[in-house]
Amino acid sequence: MFKKHKLTTLLLLLLINVMIPLNAFAYSDYILAGGQNIGILLNSNGILIVGTYEVGAQNPALDADLQTGDRIISINNQAVHSIEEMLQVIASLENPTSIEVTYLRGSSEKTTTLNLVMDDNQVYKTGLYVKDSINGVGTLTFIDPATKLYGALGHEIIEKTTGQRLEIKDGKIYSSIVTGITPSNEGNPGEKNARYDVNDIFGNITENSSSGIFGTYTDELPDNKLYKVAKVENIQLGKASILTVINDNQVEEFTIHILKLSPESKETKNILFEVTDKRLLDTSGGIVQGMSGSPIIQNNMIIGAVTHVVVDDCTKGYGIFITNMLEEAEN
C-alpha cells in the first residue's frame, strides 16, 4: 500500500509540474515608476584588457597573445579582482622577468606567460592597458515593491574600447543630481551633466543584460507613484509621456507621441516615439544621454522605458517594453 501511495503521489507531482507554464513570472501587477537620476558603478568580472602598448621595441602583451577584451583573473595562480591587487602581486615578486597570467577569452579560460620589461625609470611594464570598473549616469526605471527588485537603463552597458558588454562581478547604484543639460542637435546627441555621491547607495547591481541593469533596491523605498504594468496588447499609438529629471533631482513628466510598435522584437527597440513637449525640446533638444531608463507612461500604466536616441533626429527615440525588463529582472 505504501509503495502504491508513493507512486500515486509522484505522478500527481509530475502532473502538477507539467501544468505550470514555463514562462510564468511573479512580478507585481503594480510597480513603482522611477525617473530618478542615478549614478552607476560596475565592477568587471576580471581585469579587462582595453589595449596594449610597446615598451621600447617590444610589445610583451602581443607576444603573450593577450588581446583587447580578455579578462585577467589570476597572476601566478593568485586570484586578482582589481588593478590594485594585480599590481600588489607583481610588486611582491623579487626581480621578476615574467608572470603567469590566467585570463578569460569569452567563456574559455587560458593561461600564458607575460614577459615584464623594465623601462628607463627602472619600472616593470606589462604592455597592457587595463580597466576594472565603469561608472556613469542613467535613469531608474522601476522598483517592484513586493521583491525590491529594480531595473534601470533598458539596455546593456558597453565598454567603449572593446565594444563588448561588460561582464560584471557586482556593482551599485547611488545618488545623482542633474546640474545641467548639454542639448542634442542633429547628428550629435547631448547629455545630462550630473554630480553624484558614491556613498549614498540605493542598491546593488547583479546583472548587466541586453534589457538593462538589475539588482536589489537596498535603500528605503521612495514615495513614488504605483503604476499598473501594461501588457503589450494594452499599448497604443499616440499620446504618452516619459518621467525623467532635467534639473537637480526633481522627476517631471513630459509628453511624447508613440509612432510605431514592434511587439515581435525581443530587443530594446520595441517603441518608436517622438518628443512633443515644448519645454523638454527647448531644454534638451529631445532625447539626451542619461535619459536611458526613463519610464514611459500611457493611460496611467507603465508601458516601457527609453533606451536610445535617433541620432539623425534627436527629437525621436526608442523604448523597450516594460514586460521585457520585468521578465529579465527575475532571471
Tens digits of residue pLDDT in 137-157: 999 999 999 999 999 999 999
Catalytic residue among 155, 176, 184, 284: 155
Q: Which of 176, 184, 277, 284 is catalytic?
A: 277
277 belongs to the catalytic site: yes
The whole-number pLDDT of residue 208 equals 96
* Mean per-residue pLDDT over the chain, rounded: 90
Structure confidence by residue, pLDDT tens digits, 222-237: 999 999 999 999 999 9
Cβ burial of 233 (10 Å; 0-12, 13-18, 19+) is exposed
- CA 233/CA 144 separation, integer angstroms: 21
Condensed to tens digits (0 to 9), the pLDDT of residues 88-105 reads 998 898 888 899 999 999
C-alpha cell at 98: 615574467
- Per-residue model confidence as pLDDT tens digits over 17-29: 333 344 456 789 9
Q: Tell whether the model's pLDDT for residue 165 goes beyond 80.
A: yes
| Whether the predicted pLDDT of 1 surpasses 60 | no
Question: Of 74, 176, 292, 294, which one is the catalytic site residue?
Answer: 292
Phi and psi of 114, rounded to 5°? -110, 120
